[in-house]
């Protein structure tokens, strides 16, 4: 081989190495800061999320009502639940109906769960916010969360409101298993 061909091969090799390193760096940044994989454990979010699902979580957008969030408790336990109450809200259930600030609010995300519910007991037990939480409304930076599988969920009804500082991010996409892939 002449030296010109060797030089071209070396240049191509280093070009491929540079692009590969740049691509890996970008992938690591995206994975570490923008779209973080999180495994789903338990059945508290059934049918939205099931045991063994993997979701991509992001942590750069604002929390809104009915977002599915990932948060960590003081003991290090990580949970995935749905935001029902926002700062300043009161939340109550009467006869399986959600009331936020004493106004009826529909929960369309529960339709699949309720369609398969053949039991004659309430899907969400009745509670009044002040009796449950000991305050009239959620404080600044506090969120009330529930699992979509209300009968089998440990959530704000048992451990109280979630502080904004404990929220890690929002679940956006189920990416594994592929047959269950969907936006959350």
Using DSSP bridges, classify how beta strands 182-183 and 167-176 pair: parallel, antiparallel or unpaired.
antiparallel
Is 44 in the active site? yes
- Sign of the CA dihedral 148, 151, 154, 158? positive
Q: Which of 44, 92, 153, 156 is catalytic?
A: 44
Per the listing, tokens 């409304």 go with 137
**H or E stretch covering 17:** helix 3-29
Q: Is 61 a catalytic residue?
A: no
Cβ atoms of residues 81 and 69 within 8 Å:
yes
Q: Which of 18, 81, 142, 179 is catalytic?
A: 81
Closest CA to 170 of 73, 86, 72, 71: 71
Helix (H, G, I), strand (E, B) or coil at 108: helix
Contacts of 62 (CB under 8 A, 6+ apart): none
Q: How many residues does the chain have?
A: 184
Instruction: Give me the active site residues, please.
Output: 44, 81
């Amino acid at each position: 081989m002449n030296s010109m061909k060797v030089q071209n091969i070396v240049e191509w090799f280093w070009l491929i190495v540079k692009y590969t390193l740049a691509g890996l760096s970008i992938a690591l940044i995206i994975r570490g800061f923008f779209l973080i994989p999180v495994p789903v454990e338990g059945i508290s979010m059934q049918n939205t999320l099931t045991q063994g699902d993997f979701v991509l979580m992001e942590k750069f957008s604002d929390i809104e009502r009915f977002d599915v969030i990932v948060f960590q408790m003081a003991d290090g336990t990580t949970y995935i639940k749905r935001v029902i109450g926002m700062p300043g809200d009161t939340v109550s259930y009467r006869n399986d109906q959600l009331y936020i600030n004493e106004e009826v609010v529909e929960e369309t995300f529960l339709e699949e769960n309720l369609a398969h519910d053949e039991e004659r007991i309430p899907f969400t037990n009745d509670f009044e916010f002040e009796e449950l939480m000991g305050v009239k409304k959620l404080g600044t930076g506090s969120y009330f969360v529930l699992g979509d599988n209300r009968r089998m969920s440990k959530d704000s009804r048992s451990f109280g409101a979630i502080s904004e500082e404990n929220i890690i991010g929002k679940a956006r996409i189920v990416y594994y298993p592929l047959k269950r892939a969907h936006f959350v």
